[in-house]
Structure 1
């Protein structure tokens, strides 16, 4: 990652003391891969599961603060890739490690957004070597469909600029040599869009082929085996930028993200 962007990240991202925090997993492969990176680099492990309007916890006795992974938290530490401003001057959580937040992307310049995975941001920040195989590199670009922007003529140059900012010129070259359909085929082959859920007994489960995916990466990718129980419930809502001009108009926010140029979703304490 180039210093021009890396220097903007919150200080906690560079703190390499191990086991300081726990992790909050969400329901997809991007979050799970990000959690695996955090565990590999810093020893932090999953203790919470967030499915947008509920938080579940494994060990209630563990009082360490959690880092949200692929989660647009309004307060607290998080790695994130969402657009979290309605307008340029909206408040943004100062502890969020989010390129779109750091570069002040909002509804008015939404088409300039970083449109790749949270895991790819973390991969770059921590200076991890790319997977050794071509298929491994392609699979990394499949996470959160990080490849898509390259094949949109109106967005390709911006997409490439972000990859270069992350220090991934090799991935630009790879995208130039591959087709969009190859990535769609790989997503189907490894079911990368499969969700992570809690079963009735409170254990995490997924149709992600974790054993197969493991073969492409140099660190374990696994779900925690502990039982989870409900900790918090939030209200959820969506809104539109035509009528809500600022996040300041929303009270008691827990999480917030634009889902398009004109729409957003959020959770709040009610």
Structure 2
């Protein structure tokens, strides 16, 4: 990651104290791989599962503060890739490690956003070497459709600019050599877009082909074998920027993200 970007990240990201925090997993592969990176680098493990309507906990006795992974928390530590400003002066959680927050992307300049995965942000920040094989690198780009912006004539320049900031110029070369269809095939082959869910017994499950993904990276990609129980229920809502111009208008906010220039999705306490 280029120095001018890395220096904008919150100080906690550079604290390599082992097992200082627990992690909040959300419902997709980007979050799961981000959690795997946190465990690999800092020893932090999943203790919460957040499905945007509820948060579940495995060990209620563990009082360490949690880091949200691929989660736009309004308060507390999080790694995130969402656009979290409605207007350019909107409040942003100072503890969020989010390129779009750090570079002041909002509804008005939404087309300038970082449109790749939280995983790639973390991979770059922690200085991890890219995977050894072409397929494993392509899987990395297939997560959260990080490849997609390269194949848009209108967005390619912005997409390449972010890859350069991340220090991933070689990924630009790979994207030039491959096609959109190649990545769509990988998404289908490994069910990369499938969701993670909690079953009736309180265990996490998914249709993502996790067994087949082992060995592509230097760390395992696996669901925790822990039983979760409900901690808190939330209210999830969609709304629009013509109605809400600032997050200050939303009381009891837990998480927030703009979906496009006009629409937002957020979670609040009941």
Asked if TM exceeds 0.5, the reply is: yes
CA distance in 1, matches of 2:90, 2:53: 23
Q: Once the two structures are superposed, what CA deviation does each residue of 1:181-226 show, in whole Å capped at 9, x if it has no partner? A: 0110111111100111000000001111112111210011111111
Asked if 1:22 corresponds to 2:33, the answer is no
What pairs up with 1:121-270 in 2 under 5 angstroms?
A: 121-270=121-270
Aligned residue in 2 for 1:95? 95
For residues 215 and 186 of structure 1, the distance between their equivalents in structure 2, rounded to whole angstroms, comes to 16
What residue is the counterpart of 1:104 in the other structure?
104
* Superposed CA RMSD: 0.5
Give the SS at the match of 2:91. coil
SS at match of 2:174: helix
1:13 aligns with 2:13: yes
How far apart, in 2, do the equivalents of 1:167 and 1:3 lie?
10
Taking the aligned partners of 1:14 and 1:269, their CA distance within structure 2 comes to 31
Offset from partner CA, 1:151-176 (integer Å, 9 cap, x none): 00000000000000000001000000
**Runs of at least 5 residues in structure 1 that lack an aligned partner in the other structure:** none
CA distance in 2, matches of 1:184, 1:18: 37
Q: Which residue of 1 aligns with 2:56?
A: 56
> How far did 1:244 drift?
1.0
Q: How far apart are 1:266 and its partner, in Å? A: 0.4
Structure 1 CA distance for aligned equivalents of residues 198 and 185 of structure 2:
28
Structure 2 SS opposite 1:217: coil
Instruction: Note the C-alpha offset of 1:250.
Output: 0.9
Q: Distance in 2 between matches of 1:235 and 1:154?
A: 36
Match of 1:38? Answer: 38
Residue 268 of structure 1: SS of its match in structure 2?
strand
Distance 1:31 1:95 in 2: 18
| Rounded Cα–Cα distance in structure 1 between residues aligned with 2:236 and 2:198 | 19
Q: What SS does structure 2 have at the residue aligned with 1:234? A: strand
- TM (norm. structure 1) is 0.99
CA distance in 2, matches of 1:26, 1:250: 22
SS in 2 for 1:132: coil
Once residues 186 and 215 of structure 2 are traced to their aligned partners in structure 1, the CA distance between those partners, rounded to angstroms, is 15
Structure 2: gaps spanning 5 or more residues: none
1:242 positional shift: 1.3
SS in 2 for 1:20: coil
Q: Give the aligned length.
A: 270
What's the TM-score, normalizing by structure 2? Answer: 0.99
